[in-house]
Amino acid sequence: MYDRLKGFRDFYPGEMSARREVVDTVETAAARYGFREIGTPHLERTQMYVDKSGEEIVEELYAFEDKGGREVTLTPELTPTVARMVVAKQQALSKPIKWVSTRPFWRYEQVQQGRFREFYQTNADIFGSTEPEADAEILAFCADALTDLGLTADDFEFRVSHRDILGGLLRSFDADVDVADAVRAVDKSEKVEREEYLGLLSDAGLSYDQAGEFADLIERGDLDEIAEFGGDDVAAAVENLRNVLAAADDFGAGEFCEVSLSTARGLDYYTGVVFECFDSTGDVSRATFGGGRYDDLIESFGGQPTPAVGVGIGNATLQLLCQRAGVWPDEELATDYYLLTVGDTRGVASDIARDLRAAGNVVEVDVSDRSFGAQMSYADSVNADTVVIVGERDLENGEVTVKDMASGDQTTVPVDDFPGERDAPTYEDYE
């Protein structure tokens, strides 16, 4: 026996059917907003991530040298890849560019609740608009996806912040502050004790008193106070945040949004509005997903200046939220019809199966030459709604037997009338 690698998962058919239903729901919501599906490679040059995040990122990658001597890695995230794709065809692409995809990623990191070394995300991005409506549309798509899954405003909340507010406030202090380090400290603030948090801010260049003043300011979250304290740049960021929230309200997502300036998103490339989705009850401690604006990334990849905003929805954490709220789909198989054959009846059974499948039904036929009882047990195991018994004796009378598996009721039906003109005939149609 070979053991499965740590941080990687197997998905059996029942689990996979539930996952597929959720992904389809999220992608359908994205399609309604005009996001177009793309496909991306699972292998990229390692240097692309080093240039974006520094040499230390290699420790988190599944990186190696390929047979051509190239340093490559399994992709740990999508944003650099889509940035590369935009740069490659920037002149030919109509703006705004709205892309969506669902696929796996890989990071070599500590396995914990909702975090695996191979993980699946749906990513949606808008390139080419600086307007608040673009940020708001990402929030609205996310809200629609979650409510389409059966979640309500009692189940989740979007914590919305602005990186330029945080950066502007930090620069307003009379101190030599490493803004990136300080923002990363803010991102950790809810995971550590206050003293440790203030220590991290101090390490980034604030005095202890300044760190406390800054922490209190963003904790209160009074946007008027913050705009006045931080000066013109912060005031402009506050106005942008308010405009995004107003647009989100118009788009139907406002009820899910709350200002939370301690939401910072740790990645350095974020430039404006950022947000994370959390379980409202707190039972799921990790963010379900997050995103934000990254206006400088395309230019850093050699393209023309192109504003961008996007979100990455993690399948694992979304599953935790849906399970907590009781809306995760049943992890079971679904079969519309099982064609049970007795004797030399394959030809007739195959004709019926083709007609039913042509109408869009899920149909199974025995392929193992099993007994009547074994076939019936199998039909039950795949949750067949209806069993159609195609037996030699019935066919001598020009009939088949239609059995409702839920009630156990059955009746004989003329073989020429099944399925007949019906797309999905059941026992009730013939009783």
3-22 pLDDT, tens digit each: 999 999 999 999 999 999 99
Which H helix or E strand runs over 404? strand 399-404
- Do the annotations mark residue 12 as ligand-binding? no
Structure tokens at 261: 């300036």
* pLDDT reported for residue 190: 83
Q: Is-cis flag, bond preceding 419, omega within 30? A: yes
Q: Is the pTM of this model over 0.85?
A: yes
* pLDDT reported for residue 179: 86
Q: Does CATH place domain 13-40+75-325 in 3.30.930.10?
A: yes
* pLDDT reported for residue 102: 98
The Cβ of residue 325 has, within 10 Å, a number of other Cβ atoms equal to 21
- Do the annotations mark residue 265 as ligand-binding? yes
Question: Cα–Cα distances in Å, from 336 out to 333, 344, 402, 408, 410?
Answer: 10, 23, 12, 15, 16
For the chain, give every residue range classified as CATH 3.30.930.10: 13-40+75-325
- Of 28-32, 136-140, 162-166, the poorest mean pLDDT is in 162-166
Which H helix or E strand runs over 289? strand 289-293
For the residues 48-75, what does the mean pLDDT come to?
93
Q: Does CATH place domain 335-429 in 3.40.50.720?
A: no
* pLDDT reported for residue 266: 67
Nearest to 40 by CA among 99, 127, 119: 99
Structure tokens at 34: 């005009």
For the chain, give every residue range classified as CATH 3.40.50.800: 335-429
Q: Is-cis flag, bond preceding 41, omega within 30? A: no
- Do the annotations mark residue 370 as ligand-binding? no
* pLDDT reported for residue 325: 97
Chain centroid offset of residue 233 CA: 34
367 pLDDT band, cuts 50/70/90, is very high
Tens digits of residue pLDDT in 239-254: 999 999 999 999 999 9
- Do the annotations mark residue 171 as ligand-binding? no
321 neighbors 155 (Cβ within 8 angstroms): yes
C-alpha dihedral sign at 110, 181, 276, 291 = negative
- Three-class HEC string of 75-133: CCCCHHHHHHHHHHCCCCCCCCEEEEEEEEEECCCCCECCECCEEEEEEEEEECCCCHH
- Do the annotations mark residue 208 as ligand-binding? no
Counted residue by residue, the chain has a size of: 431
Tens digits of residue pLDDT in 336-363: 999 999 999 999 999 999 999 999 999 9
- Do the annotations mark residue 416 as ligand-binding? no
365 neighbors 378 (Cβ within 8 angstroms): no
Structure tokens at 85: 């794709």
DSSP string, 117-178: SEEEEEEEEEES--SHHHHHHHHHHHHHHHHHTT--TTTEEEEEEEHHHHHHHHHHSSS---
- Do the annotations mark residue 108 as ligand-binding? no
Interacting residues of 404 by C-beta distance below 8 A, sequence separation 6+: 385, 386, 410, 426, 427, 428
- Do the annotations mark residue 176 as ligand-binding? no
For the residues 396-407, what does the mean pLDDT come to?
96
Tens digits of residue pLDDT in 88-136: 999 999 999 999 999 999 999 888 888 899 999 999 999 999 999 999 9
Question: Cα–Cα distances in Å, from 295 out to 111, 121, 229, 271, 300?
Answer: 31, 22, 25, 6, 10
Structure tokens at 27: 């992608």
381 residue type, one letter: S
- Do the annotations mark residue 270 as ligand-binding? yes
